[in-house]
């Protein structure tokens, strides 16, 4: 439909009050005072909504004092009609005089809020409007909160999981289900639940929040997830609904600062420590054959190390930036002018590219920008690089195999996690944490001085900041915050520090033998940072395989939430906590131990004196991963 220009507004409508046209081209100024109220204001509301839907709002024209005086008294609906002004902003002179004179006689139309609430009384300018309660059961008890004014229209997302029409239809059904529960809650007339009865605006905001959350977190399963949510709401009781409303209000409006951090849920297997240790040996990860995925299974030879050193000398420090992929030159030991690297600041996207199944180009979750639209949304002081080739890593620090202990006694399993930072020699170890398994007691938690000069501590992920090094104490010295006095709020706790990655590795070796299960997530990164070759490892990245297989891996955060119902790595820019990650990794292995024991019990296996006993009639014992491989190698030989 074409936009009317208002050329016939000076001509009275031939049909008069009997006109039924949606947007008549002729003048109805004589009947406007009566028809609007006789029709219950529905025509005014429908016309405004229709015009708003059909075209975007017109460009505002700056109005000086003379224009304000001239247009005083013109109704809001008349001013906003697109037929009153041309695209350039100049009013049409034809018929405008009659329209203005008629408007001065007509009271201003009711507001949109009055139309929605059914208010039909004429409000005289200069008098306060009569307040009426909203048309909702038990509405007088609704707690008033400062709510943003939003319409029931899906919020714009960088990457929409479905077409706008589909999202709108689903959002309407979600809002209807929430409104029905809100009405039931209001009808209970319970004073304790009265603050949880939402206003119409709050219901819209809650529906928008939930739809947006599902669209962001589950773009590939958006339709299924939100439909299941609507079905759940239809079956939900008012009491359960009140719990969800309280959680929504706490997260959006209340946000109490005194609310303590979520305590990690403790995982139990209903097994003794000895029984868990006996079962965990069945979960050992075989690393042979996985060298192409970063696992180092043998120490690089001296010839390989020498060739790597010659290659580094020939490269003259030129590297590829691990963040922006740009070429730059690094200067170990600093250049004469004190520079550590060339190329100036690094501009990059910290988030990994998301390639969802929805239409559109892949994008960066950190800023929502599609690939190729910008160089980056984050800036760092230096470009950085990392090395993954074993012989190149050995030029900085040679690998070592786990030695045997002098006493020959076995050691308990160890779960460990490392944090790395960028230096002029690549990605180096800066923190090492080891805990006993399955008890979770801290065995070792130290900061590490890297060999090269620091380019970036990678604090966004490592959780290690310069103040940690500033407050660190030598290893073996009691940190000042361990004497019973609490550290100042916002100040990093003092940690023990060792002089090099080699020292940290030797400390870790005190808790290991070649047969000690060493537990980690994507453990090749931690082992390579420490330059350790250990034959008995349990890698949760392989224990919980990704559907696509290696090199794809589930994140530790995802596995902890899925299998332990535990939220980790929630510090945002504060980074990760290696102790928290080590505990989560260890508990994931305990989850697998419990799962393995249930399967064995189903097959008839029993536990006697903390040793596995096969079912009657079945001889032998369960082979650990790798034992069958060794047997096959012997057969082949």
pTM across the whole model: 0.60
Q: Which two tokens stand for residue 400?
A: 């070592």
> Does residue 569 or residue 103 have the better pLDDT?
569
Highest mean pLDDT among 212-216, 283-287, 372-376, 615-619: 283-287
In this structure, which long-range contacts are made by residues 185-193, counting pairs with CB atoms below 8 Å and at least 24 apart in sequence? 185/238, 185/241, 185/242, 185/245, 186/136, 186/137, 186/138, 186/139, 186/141, 186/142, 187/137, 187/138, 188/238, 189/138, 189/141, 191/141, 193/238, 193/242
Domains of the chain: 16-117 (no CATH), 139-254 (no CATH), 411-587 (3.30.420.10)
CA 354, CA 362: separation in Å to the nearest integer?
A: 6
Q: How many CB atoms lie within 10 A of CB 288?
A: 13
pLDDT in tens, 484-531: 444 444 556 789 999 999 999 999 999 999 999 999 999 999 999 999
Contact status, residue 428 vs residue 386, Cβ threshold 8 Å: no
> Does residue 74 or residue 576 have the better pLDDT?
576
Beta strands per DSSP E along 226-321: 318-320
pLDDT in tens, 97-110: 443 444 444 445 55
Give the model's confidence band at 621: pLDDT under 50 very low, under 70 low, under 90 confident, else very high: low
Quick one: pLDDT at residue 356?
57
> Does residue 398 or residue 166 have the better pLDDT?
398
Quick one: pLDDT at residue 41?
41
Query: Average pLDDT for residues 350-361, to the nearest whole number?
Result: 68
Helix H or strand E segment including 414: strand 414-423
Give the model's confidence band at 622: pLDDT under 50 very low, under 70 low, under 90 confident, else very high: low
pLDDT in tens, 377-409: 889 999 999 999 999 999 999 999 999 998 888
pLDDT in tens, 131-140: 443 334 443 3
Candidate from 8-12, 504-508, 551-555 with smallest mean pLDDT: 8-12
Token pair 């250049």 is found at 335
pLDDT > 80? residue 115: no
Contact status, residue 279 vs residue 271, Cβ threshold 8 Å: yes
Helix H or strand E segment including 314: helix 302-315
Counting beta carbons within 10 angstroms of the beta carbon of residue 207, is it exposed (0 to 12), middle (13 to 18) or buried (19 or more)?
buried
Q: Which two tokens stand for residue 217?
A: 């977190």
Quick one: pLDDT at residue 127?
39
Give the model's confidence band at 330: pLDDT under 50 very low, under 70 low, under 90 confident, else very high: very high
Write b or e for each residue in 117-132: b if 16 or more Cβ atoms lie within 10 A of its Cβ, otherwise e: bebeeebeeeeeeeee
Quick one: pLDDT at residue 491?
59
Token pair 């589950």 is found at 218
Highest mean pLDDT among 57-71, 230-244, 386-400: 386-400
Average pLDDT, the chain: 79
- Of the chain, the percentage scoring pLDDT greater than 70 comes to 73
The per-residue DSSP string of 517-549 comes to -EEESSHHHHHHHHTEE-SSEEEHHHHS--TT-
Q: Which two tokens stand for residue 372?
A: 């190729």
């Amino acid at each position: 439909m074409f936009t009317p220009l208002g050329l016939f507004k000076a001509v009275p409508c031939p049909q008069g009050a009997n006109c039924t046209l949606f947007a008549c081209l002729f003048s109805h100024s004589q009947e406007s005072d009566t028809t609007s109220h006789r029709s219950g204001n529905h025509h005014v509301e429908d016309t405004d909504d229709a015009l708003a839907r059909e075209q975007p709002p017109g460009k505002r024209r700056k109005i000086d004092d003379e224009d304000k005086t001239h247009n005083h008294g013109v109704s809001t609906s008349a001013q906003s009609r697109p037929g009153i002004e041309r695209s350039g902003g100049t009013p049409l002179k034809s018929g405008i005089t009659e329209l203005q004179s008629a408007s001065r006689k007509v009271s201003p139309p009711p507001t949109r809020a009055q139309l929605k609430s059914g208010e039909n009384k004429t409000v005289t300018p200069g008098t306060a409007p009569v307040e009426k309660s909203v048309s909702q059961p038990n509405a007088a008890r609704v707690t008033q909160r400062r709510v943003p004014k939003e319409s029931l229209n899906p919020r714009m997302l960088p990457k929409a999981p479905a077409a706008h029409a589909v999202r709108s239809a689903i959002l309407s059904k979600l809002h209807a289900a929430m409104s029905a529960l809100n009405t039931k809650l209001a009808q209970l007339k319970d004073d304790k639940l009265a603050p949880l009865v939402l206003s119409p605006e709050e219901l819209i905001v809650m529906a928008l929040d939930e739809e947006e959350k599902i669209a962001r977190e589950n773009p590939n399963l958006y339709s299924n997830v939100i439909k299941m949510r609507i079905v759940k709401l239809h079956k939900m009781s008012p009491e359960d609904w009140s719990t969800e409303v309280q959680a929504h209000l706490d997260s959006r409006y209340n946000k109490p600062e005194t609310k303590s951090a979520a305590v990690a849920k403790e995982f139990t297997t209903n097994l003794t420590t000895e029984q868990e240790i006996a079962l965990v040996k069945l979960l050992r990860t075989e690393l042979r054959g996985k060298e192409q995925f970063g696992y180092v299974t043998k120490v690089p030879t001296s010839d390989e190390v020498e060739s790597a050193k010659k290659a580094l000398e020939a490269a003259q420090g030129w590297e590829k930036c691990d963040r922006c992929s740009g070429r730059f030159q690094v200067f170990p030991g600093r250049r004469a002018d004190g520079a550590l690297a060339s190329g100036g600041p690094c501009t990059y996207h910290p988030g990994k590219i998301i390639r969802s199944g929805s239409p559109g180009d892949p994008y960066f979750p950190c800023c929502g920008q599609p690939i190729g639209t910008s160089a980056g949304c984050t800036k760092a002081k230096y470009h950085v690089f990392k090395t993954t080739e074993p012989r190149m890593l050995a030029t900085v620090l040679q690998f070592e195999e786990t030695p045997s202990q002098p006493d020959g006694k076995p050691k308990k399993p160890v779960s460990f996690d490392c944090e790395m930072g960028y230096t002029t020699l690549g990605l180096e170890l800066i923190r090492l944490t080891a805990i006993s398994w399955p008890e979770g007691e801290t065995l070792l938690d130290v900061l590490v001085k890297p060999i090269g000069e620091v380019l970036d501590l990678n604090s966004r992920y490592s959780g290690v900041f310069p103040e940690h090094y500033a407050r660190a104490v030598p290893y073996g010295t009691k940190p000042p915050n361990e004497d019973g006095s609490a550290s100042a709020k916002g100040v990093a706790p003092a940690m023990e520090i060792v002089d090099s990655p080699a020292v940290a590795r030797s400390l870790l070796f005190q808790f290991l033998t070649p047969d000690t299960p060493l537990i980690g997530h994507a453990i090749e990164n931690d082992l390579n940072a420490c330059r350790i070759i250990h034959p008995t490892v349990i890698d949760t990245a392989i224990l919980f395989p990704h559907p696509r297989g290696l090199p794809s891996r589930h994140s530790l955060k995802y596995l902890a939430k899925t299998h332990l119902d535990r939220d980790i790595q929630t510090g945002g820019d504060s980074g990760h906590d290696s102790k928290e990650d080590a505990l989560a990794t260890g508990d994931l292995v305990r989850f697998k131990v419990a799962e393995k024991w249930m399967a064995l019990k189903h097959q008839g296996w029993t536990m006697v004196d903390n040793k596995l006993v096969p079912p009657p009639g079945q001889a032998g014992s369960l082979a650990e991963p790798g034992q069958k491989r060794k047997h096959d190698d012997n057969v082949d030989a």
